[in-house]
């Protein structure tokens, strides 16, 4: 029997992690919240229109990709300046998040 594929959009909700949320996506980007920071990162598979474009403009950090190399670029931060590291928690586990030059966030 062949798998059944849905032709309608589905919403997936993360539960149990107060320090992370996917807030919005679209126009090749995703807007995420890590702790108290909102982050815009490229996501080519998000080809639809975002629900709240103004929220992307108000983000704490935006990854600006460079054309020379794939997945490389630099982070642009809001008026509060660059964030070196920020605390996060998942259940009882505490760790630190950091921005990388490759659009990803690293967790230690």
pLDDT in tens, 82-100: 788 899 999 899 999 999 8
Q: Could you report how far apart the first and last alpha carbons of the chain are, in Å?
A: 44
CB 99 within 8 A of CB 46: no
The pLDDT of residue 103: 85
Average pLDDT, the chain: 87
Query: How far is residue 32 from each of residues 3, 41, 42, 51, measured CA to CA in Å?
Result: 31, 8, 11, 13
pTM: 0.80
Topology adopted by domain 20-107: Immunoglobulin-like (2.60.40)
pLDDT reported for residue 23: 95
């Amino acid at each position: 029997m062949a798998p059944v594929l849905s032709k309608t959009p589905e919403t997936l909700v993360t539960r149990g992690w107060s320090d992370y949320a996917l807030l919005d996506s679209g126009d090749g980007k995703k807007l995420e919240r890590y702790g108290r920071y909102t982050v815009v990162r490229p996501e080519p598979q998000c080809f639809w229109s975002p629900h709240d474009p103004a929220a992307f403009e108000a983000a704490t950090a935006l990854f600006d990709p460079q054309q020379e190399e794939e997945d490389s670029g630099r982070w642009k931060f809001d008026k509060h300046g660059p964030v070196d590291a920020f605390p996060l928690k998942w259940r009882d586990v505490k760790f630190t998040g950091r921005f990388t030059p490759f659009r990803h966030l690293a967790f230690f």
